[in-house]
Amino acid sequence: MKHQWRWILMLVPVTLLLTGWDAAPPDESTPGTAAPVVEKTSLGARTAIIPTLAWVIGSYDAEERANLMTASWVGVCASRPAAVMIGLRPATYTHGNIMARRAFTVNIGGAELARYAAYVGRVSGRTQDKFTATGLTPVKSDLVDAPYVQEYPLIAECKVTKTVEAGSHTLFIGEIVDVKADPAVLNDAGVPVVEKLNPVVYSPGSGAFYGLGPNLGAVSELAGQAVPKRP
């Protein structure tokens, strides 16, 4: 009988090990605990990065006609000097305009102007006078050789300092000469704020514009929440 119990006691830990039993399972609510591994789905080499911006780009053509197009391969690219980048296909009418004039404007509007961004992004300036069609008002910049849109609340006037050929698109680096803003989109410190501008973003996958959600908190506040406090 003693030998029988000895074999039983020896087999118990082996059985528990094989069945995966853990006397002290990890606390799933504790930060730093290993989470279940979820395998990512490969989407291949494509522009499935969302969201992108929806900037309306102003330019003049060879006949001094003001033109607009919507671009989403865009963004701030430098702080000193302040500069932005817009990526355009050579086939676009605006591409030729900016190549010749070496200037453009960035026009940023809220959700109430989304229909105009959709329209000027779908028709060509070669066949359509987009200002006449939409009823938008062109304003000749005093600083760069390009028009901006009176109805848009946030404008950046840019001069081209460099172009880079990046495959299907030409990247135009535009130094910001001035930013103009309607007082209605500024806070007390004179800075444009998302809550007042209510800008839209674009999703290449769905081909739709979207609004932005609520304020999630200041960066300093959120950063402080990232690392759990030790007791």
Per residue in 109-138, pLDDT tens? 999 999 999 999 999 999 999 999 999 999
Residue 187 structure tokens: 């806070």
What's the whole-number average pLDDT of the chain?
89
Measured CA to CA, the distance from residue 112 to residue 198 in angstroms comes to 9
Half-sphere exposure of 159 (CA within 13 A, CB side): 9
Half-sphere exposure of 17 (CA within 13 A, CB side): 5
pLDDT more than 90, % of the chain: 82
Spatial CA neighbour of 163 closest among 173, 176, 149, 175: 173
Q: Is residue 16 very low, low, confident or very high in pLDDT (cuts 50, 70, 90)?
A: very low
Q: Is residue 32 very low, low, confident or very high in pLDDT (cuts 50, 70, 90)?
A: low
Half-sphere exposure of 199 (CA within 13 A, CB side): 18
Between residues 5 and 80, the one the model is more confident about: 80
Class of the 52-211 domain? mainly beta
Spatial CA neighbour of 174 closest among 205, 213, 139, 141: 141
User: What's the whole-model pTM score?
Assistant: 0.83
Structure confidence at residue 35 (pLDDT)? 73
Flag whether pLDDT at 65 surpasses 80: yes
Q: Where are the domains of the chain?
A: 52-211
Measured CA to CA in angstroms, residue 162 lies from 37, 82, 92, 103, 126 at distances of 44, 14, 18, 11, 25
Measured CA to CA, the distance from residue 203 to residue 127 in angstroms comes to 27
Average pLDDT over residues 177-203: 97
Between residues 165 and 230, the one the model is more confident about: 165
- Identify the three-state secondary structure at position 175: strand
